[in-house]
Chain A
Amino acid sequence: KKANQTKDEL
C-alpha cells in the first residue's frame, strides 16, 4: 500500500 512508504515527512 502506498501509505506505508517510509514516513519521510515532518
Chain B
Amino acid sequence: MNVFRLTGDLSHLAAIIILLLKIWKSRSCAGISGKSQILFAVVFTTRYLDLLTSFISLYNTSMKLIYIGCAYATVYLIYVKFRATYDGNHDSFRVEFLVVPVGGLAVLINHNFSLMEILWTFSIYLESVAILPQLFMISKTGEAETITTHYLFCLGLYRALYLLNWIWRYYFEGFLDMIAIFAGLVQTVLYCDFFYLYVTKGGKDRKKVMLP
C-alpha cells in the first residue's frame, strides 16, 4: 500500500458516499445517470467475485463490500425509491455500445484465459468507460449541480491517483499491469475535459455550466 493508492481509494469512497448522500438527502436523482450507476454496480460485481475465493486483508474486503453495497443502494434509490425523479429522457446513452466491445476486448486481451481473469479484465475495461453515460447526460442537459461536479471530481481523481500508484509500484516493487494502466489512462483522459471545467469554473456559479 502506498500514499497514492490510499488517497485514491479514499477519493473513490468519497465519490460513492457523496453521490449516495446527495440522492438520499435531496430525495432526488435529477441529473444523475442511472445507466452509469448500473455499469459501476456491474464493475464491482465482476471485479470483486474474489471476495468468495480469497482473503487479502480486512481493508481490502471491507472496502469491496462497501463499494458493492453503496453501488447497489444507489441503483436502488435511482430506479426504485426515487424513480419519479429519474430523468430517463436525458439518460439516453446506448450502453450496449460500451458493454459489447468491452466484453469482446476482455475475451481477446487478458492476462490469462480463465473465467475469473476475464471477468476481472471485463471489469477493468468497463470501469474506464462507465462514466460516459453520466458525462453524456450532463452535456445534454447543459448543466450539473455543484454536488454532482464534486462527485465527478473525486471519481476522476481516484484513477489518476492510481496511475501514480502504478508508477510507484513499478519503481519500488517491479509491479506492472499494462491492462490496468491502459484502462486507467483511458478512464482518466475521459475526465480531462471535465477537470478543466471544474477547475476554471470552480466556485463561480451554483449551477456549473458544462459546454457540450
A contact set with B: CB distance below 8 Å: 1-10
Nearest chain B residue, comparing its CB with the CB of A4: B111
Stretch at the interface among B25-33, B142-150, B176-184: B176-184
Q: Decide: B179 and A3 in contact? CB cutoff 8 A.
A: yes
| A3-B178, A3-B179 known; A10-B12 Cβ under 8 A | yes
B 170-212 to A, binary, CB cutoff 8 A, 1 in contact else 0: 0000111111100000000000000000000000000000000
Q: Are B63 and A4 in contact (CB under 8 A)?
A: no
Contacts of B176 in A (CB 8 A): 2-3
Docked-complex contact A10 and B63, CB < 8 angstroms: yes
B67 touches A2 (CB 8 A): no
User: B59 to nearest A CB, angstroms?
Assistant: 9
The answer, among A3, A6, A8, A9, for a CB contact under 8 Å with B111, is: A3
Q: A1-B111, A3-B111, A4-B112 are in contact. Are A9 and B174 (CB under 8 A)?
A: no
Residues of A within 8 A of B162 (CB): 9
A3 proximity list for chain B (CB < 8 A): 111, 176-179
Report yes or no: A10 in contact with B50, Cβ–Cβ below 8 A.
no
Please, which residues of chain B bring their CB within 8 A of the CB of A6?
A: 54, 56
Interface residues on chain B, number (Cβ under 8 Å): 23
Contacting A10 at CB < 8 Å: which of B67, B111, B177?
Answer: B67
Which residues of the partner chain A approach B180 to less than 8 Å between Cβ atoms?
Answer: 9
Report B50-76 CB contacts with A as 1/0, cut-off 8 Å.
100010110010011001000000000
Judge whether A7 and B120 touch: CB under 8 Å. Answer: yes
Q: By the criterion CB–CB under 8 Å, are B9 and A10 in contact?
A: yes
A-B contact pairs, 23 of them (CB 8 A): A1-B111, A2-B174, A2-B177, A3-B111, A3-B177, A3-B178, A4-B111, A4-B112, A5-B175, A6-B54, A6-B56, A7-B50, A7-B120, A8-B56, A8-B57, A9-B5, A9-B162, A9-B165, A10-B9, A10-B12, A10-B60, A10-B63, A10-B64
